[in-house]
Structure 1
Amino acid sequence: MSYVAPQYPSTPPAKGGKPWLLIVGAVLAIIAVALCCVGGFMTVGSGQDLADSPEYTGSHTVTLQEGDTRAVWSSDESASCSVTGPSGSVSDASGSTQTTSWGEEQYHRVFAIEADQAGDYTINCASPFRVGDSLSTGGFIGMGVGAGLGCIAVVLMGIGLVLWLTRRKRA
């Protein structure tokens, strides 16, 4: 006695499915653009504020509250500055160099002040200088993370698009 082997169903055709990698890549791209914009505005805002601030020569006194920070900026990178506070000479608190430009002018941070107590701080510089805030580290970090996410987003969208299109053609 012979039996006919049962017919197994053939493999179902591939479905186009949802383009999940493409969607995830697009969401990451939107987040990346937002981070780059926010970081850029934070950084550009500091540069614009600095360019709009008055330029001083010789000495200038600023009043700071305890914990306030200010930066002394000069277009001369080798400008020599000193600061005297309520308790005497103040040491430079800058841990790194910072440079920013606005228009055709380039400014270098030559001194950073961290007020250890409230009072008047007198800044003396051999070159013309401006007093402002240090550049926002958060802005730079935001732009860096945004750029990294943007690269990942482009790769994911590319792979997702290829997979989605090839699966749709087979369907």
Structure 2
Amino acid sequence: MDFIGISGLVVSIAGFALSLWQIGKARTAAEAARAAAREAVAAVRAIHAVADIQEICGRSRNLFSLFRAGNVKAAASAAFELRELVARFHATDAAHQLASAETWQQAFNSMCAIHDRLEYAAMVKTLNRRERETSLHEISQLHTQFSTFAAVAAEKGVNHGNSR
């Protein structure tokens, strides 16, 4: 009987040690899964940021084309849509990875001024030559800035998955 008791104790200790080892493996696997999930979320956010800034860039190009063609009413509508996109995006972490909060605020303020000017011009149905040239220049500068942001976002998005 004594032998059975000692054998049972040895088996119990071995089983307990095996249980601890399995718990350690499970914890390591859970930590690895959590890290993989964080990395996947970061990759998806990077892809969304690239898509968002590309959409902003495309809308600014559309605004430039409409205004250059002399379609002030359509340009005012395009400016409103672009203003909404920039308003949603410029305060995000993704935006601040592309440029400083101050740079984004300046771009947003410029977008608001352009939109306000175009809405007024569409309403009164007039825009003198100097206002037209100034607006065209400001829209062009804004589009160039958004294009630069888009290039940076694409580069960071492409490199995000290769940072290991």
Q: Same fold (TM over 0.5)?
A: no
If asked which structure has higher relative contact order (CA below 8 Å, sep 6+), I would say 1
TM-score (norm 2): 0.39
Larger strand percent: 1
